[in-house]
Structure formats: C-alpha cells, structure tokens
Structure 1
Amino acid sequence: MTIKCPRFPNLPSLRSISTATRHAAGALVAVTVALSGSHALAEDGDPSIDLRLFGQNVIEGYEGCHLAFWQANKSPEIDKYAYVLYAPFNDGEELPAWMKVGQTVYEMQREDTVSVNDRALEPLRLYRNSDSTYTALLEVTDQHTDGDNVIADKAKLTITQSKHYPFVISVKGGIYCPATTSSSQSSNAAPTTSGEQPYGDPIPLGPAVPFETLEAIPAGVRSAVTTEAPECAMDQTAGQGNHYAISDAVTLWEVPCNLYARTGSSVYVVSMNENTDYSTLLTVPPLPGFEDADPNHEIRNPQMDTESGTVTSEYYDGDGTCGSFEAYQLRSVEGEALEFFLTEYREKPECDGVQADARAFPLVFKAQ
C-alpha cells in the first residue's frame, strides 16, 4: 500500500518528485509513507503515478558505460536520489532500463526501432515494462557531444499507466562512458560509489500519548494491521499502546499485537490524521544475511526514544540469562517515505545462568 499525505512541515531531507505535476493531477501529495502492501493505486482511487527517484541503492555502484536520466533540478553527484531512468551497457548493447514506482524497480525494455547514429540520442525513445503496465516516452530536445559521451541538456520523460494521469518530468542526462569522461562533462556525470548510507535523517517524534483500549485506534489503522499482518492478534491483548506525532498531519501508532509467555509485541503504523484509510504498516528490517526471510512486523517489548525515533527491544529467554537486544530507527528514504532501519543487534543464544543486561549481550551487528 502507498499513502499520499501532506508534506511533513518540520522534517528535513525529505524530497519529492515534480510536486507541481501531482498537484495539477489533484493527487494528495507529497509524502509517501509506504513500505509493504499489495493495494494498487487504482484500487486506492488515486489517479497519480507514484514515481520515485533513486540512486546507488538501485544501480549498486555500476560504473560502466550507461544511459542515465535524472530530474533536471537535481544532480546525481550531489543528491542521493536523482535518477529517473538508468540503463547499463554490455559490450556496447543497451540493456533494459530501470525505473522505480512505489517500492518496485521495473525493467523498461526499449520498444522503438529508430536509431539515429552512435553520436546522438534519438529525439524520441519509447520504453515499456514486460506486462505493459508502464510506458515511458523520452523526448530529447537539446543535446551535444563531449568526447565519446552524448549529453542531453534538455529532455522530458512522460510516464503513462492505465487509468492514471500521465506523469511528466523534466530531465537531463545522456550516454556516458566513465573512462572517457572529460572535465566539461563532470558536472553531469553519474556518481561513483561513495559508501554513503542509502537513507536520510532520523525522524524525531512527539511525546507518547497512551491509549487504553483498541477502540481508541482509528479504524483505518486497525484495518492496515489486519490486512498486512494477520498473524497479529490485537483482540487477544489488553488493547493498550501509544501514538506519536510525526507532524501535524501524520501520526505513528504503536498497536498491541500479540501476548507471549514472557512479553508482548507491538506493530507500528503510519497514518494520515484526516483520512486513516491512508495507513501503512511498517516492516521490521531483517538482520543482514537473512533478507529472504518472511517479512516481520512485530517488535517485542518495544521502548521508544522519541528524540531519535528509535525503538529498542530487550528480550530475555529461558532462565532470563539469554535473549536479544534490537534497535530500529525511523528514517526518511527516497520518495519521501519512512522506514525502520536496523541500527544494532545483540544476541546471547545460550542461557548460562549469568545475569546480564540485554544491551550488554554479544554484538552481532551495528550500523556504520
């Protein structure tokens, strides 16, 4: 599920794509707080296309010859997320391009057969994904060459999807081969891998506001939990939890999920205040190396630090001398979304009768 809601007024480092276009479309913009979900935009009644900017998190440091187009008022050398369309080359052949909509990266196949020559970009290029859900028309109106590079100084990309408004975005880019990059092209070139983390700033929260019954949770928030995390048995809990202000328009809900022998668990939902039908359940990221595991939404015995937006979990097993410690921080990502990121994981798998604080258990992972 994706949620469209008003811009967070107090959050730094949140970026949007062509908000003027979305306003013209009558969409609710510009914050997309989306992680997991299966509802399409058309089903949500939203006629906009949820195009996202991306960066090294998608191209994974590819540095060979490539075609790349980014939002015209951004630079991939400066902005973490700038690309709209990116296609690597293999032995001189252009491979399928990448375009991101929502949380999905689509492969876009070149559909037209027009070719000018190897020293210029065609005025029109047509791309389409495998099931024809998305079509992208690239119009290049101003270009020049620089060594072996073909640079598009002015271009426009129009993305279409059935029953949605066309998404039109001004772009710059071209075809680049890094080995032949000259100084005059450097300001437009694709970046090299910098080791920069693929997420933005932490999101501070307002004070915890407790609630005592499930009836205090908006229907849209409860529905998101029921739909996306059917394993959560809210009705079997005491119904107590908290909610936190993210902005005047958006709230983070800590919803009781399950009761276990030693502790309880909660899940977290980001919701618009005016229309809680736009609610999204946050996914708890896995420990690196376990990414193929089923998505998890529960955090056991959660404790929230509102200043840093960090949820910690201290869990004790057996005789209470083993267990785990986990820390997850709410951060902004590209497309003005919010996600949890694992910042620390400690584990003591064997109970040895020696009491210790979970925060002092052996360190397994710590984010750099």
Structure 2
Amino acid sequence: MTINRALSAACMLAIYAAGGNMAQAADDDIRVSLKLFGKEDIEQGIDRCRFSLWQGDRDPNADRYAFLFHANAANNGYQGPARVKIGETVYALSRLAEGGESINGLASQYFYATEDREIRVHIEFNDVGLSGELYRIKDADMTVIQKGKVPFVASAKGHLGCLQPPAQSAKATPVREPETQVPGPPNGIPIGRQTILDDMSQLPPEAVQLVRESAGDECDVDGFHAWGGARYVINDYYLLWEVPCISAAYQAATALVVTQNPPQGWGNLLTLPNPPGKDGETYQAMNADILGPKGFIRSTSLNRGVGDCGSYRVHRLIDAPGEVLELELLEFREKSECDGIEMAPEDWPLIFQAY
C-alpha cells in the first residue's frame, strides 16, 4: 500500500482522534506509558534480518533497556508481528501501510497497529544510510497512539534489513565447504502448512499427556506459555503437533508429537537425536523453524539473549520401521564462545553433517 502525504494526514487525524482533547488530556496526565525493552525480552530472539528501533540516546549493545520497537523478518517483509511495550503489557502489531518519500530506495513512513486498533504506531525516517543488505536508520520519529491518551513521540535510531555475518577470523571461523563440493541435504517427508492454535485446549489430549509423561524432565507442559501450539498436516494418515514445552525470557521450545489424522487416541512423541559424541537425545525443539516442503525441522538453542553463541540443528522427518515416523539428524553446528560476535546460526562452526 503506497502512501505519501495522505499517510501523514491520516496519521495526524488518528493522533488527534486517539488523543481527544490534547490540552485536557495533558491536564489529566493521561499519557502513553511507553517502555523500553532489551534483547533478552524478545521471546523468539533477534533474527539476523529484522526491523528494530531504539531510543536515540541509547545503545542496544551496551544498555539493558534500549529498544522501542522490534519485528523479526516475516516472509522477508518485516510485516510483523512487531512488538512494543506499554506499561507492563507487550503488544503485537501488524503493518498496515508504508510509503512516503523514498530515502536511498527505502520508504520513509510506516504505520502499524494491533488487531483491535487500540495501539497504533507511526514511524517516519528522516535520515537513512545503506550498507550491504542493511539500512542504518540514523534519525527517525516514532509516534505511539493509544485510545484516550496523549500520543508519545520518541526520537529513534535503528536497523532495517539483514546484518552480514562478520568476516572470517581466528576468533570465529565458520566451517562451510564450497557449495560445488557439498551436495544439498536430502529432503524429508513433506510437512503441510502451519495452523496456529488459539490455546492448548485445541491440542489432542493424547499429545499433551505424552509430553507430560515422557518428557516431564525437559518440558513444563502445564506451565504458562505465550501460545497454544500448532498443527501440521503430513498426509491423510498423520498430523504433526507442536506442543509448548518451555517458555523462557528470550527463547522457547516445543515438543513434537505425531498423531493419526484425525486424532484417535494414539500418539508418537518424536525425539531429536544428538550428534555422535553428545549423550542421548532431546525432546526440546528450541525456537523451532519447520520448513514444510523439504520436511526439515531446524532448531536453535541460544546460550544467552544476545544470540552470539549456542547450538543449531537440522533434522528431517523420515519413515521408521513399524509404520511410524521419526527424526534424523542432518546437521549440527555449535558456537561455544560467547564473544559478542553476531552471526547467523547456520554459519556457526560445523560439528556434524550427515550428507
């Protein structure tokens, strides 16, 4: 959706409508209670590709609380869900429009809102530089609008785009063979599109019970979780379920259960094998990313919130003896040194590869 002066006018009308009588609101001290948050407060972690804004006089790498707004890449469109924090509540917003005068090929104005339009955010770039795939936002204004309150305007800096992995060095050297010498990983059984569940009551009882009984040492299935899980159609005979396992400050895990399609009381809790030399297997798919057409399940376990160390796994869904399904480990990468060097998990040092 392209917007120019119309967007600015619309946003100003929204501000006045949301704020009502500005002078009266100021007298009543009714103001948007916008709060800063840190990397550790972003449940799914910060992607290499993201749209982030922080307070202009703060440094997100040095200050615990610096961020005003954050959205990881969604279909390469940065459409959301974005997040802002007002008071003690974190709000999820979707992008409604973008446009305005272009700066270095980038639209200069963006408009986000919650589904009920209770919270609206207008972002305007004033100065933007381009470095590789990353736009460095040198100066921006962010206006947060909440019904019945005086809008909050903040001066911001930020990033929009993808950070490049750092150059190879003795401190952090990605281990990756030339593409021409390494065949691609074999595909697994295709997995259908994700269907997000409204709450955990929509999960099959047998799936939840399997996690509770067999993975209770790893998963707190009865604890608080920010989402209800997900369902995937494998074929006419099987469904795959993501059952919330743990929810932490900057990452979350799910357990993976296969049931009949539709569920009929039977379930199979999938284990994620570890590479040779690492004990056993796990039920936790940390920050799971399911690549359905290829049948891959990628999981990334972060050792700390800034995301500069941890382990990265790629499994594929395969047939197993006895007409059941299981996961096979294709790739394992690990960056054990938390050195502040930010790079994509798929570029961490390679420990194991099965293709």
TM-score (norm 1): 0.43
TM-score, with normalisation over the residues of structure 2?
Answer: 0.45
Q: Which has the higher contact order (CA 8 A, sep 6+)?
A: 1
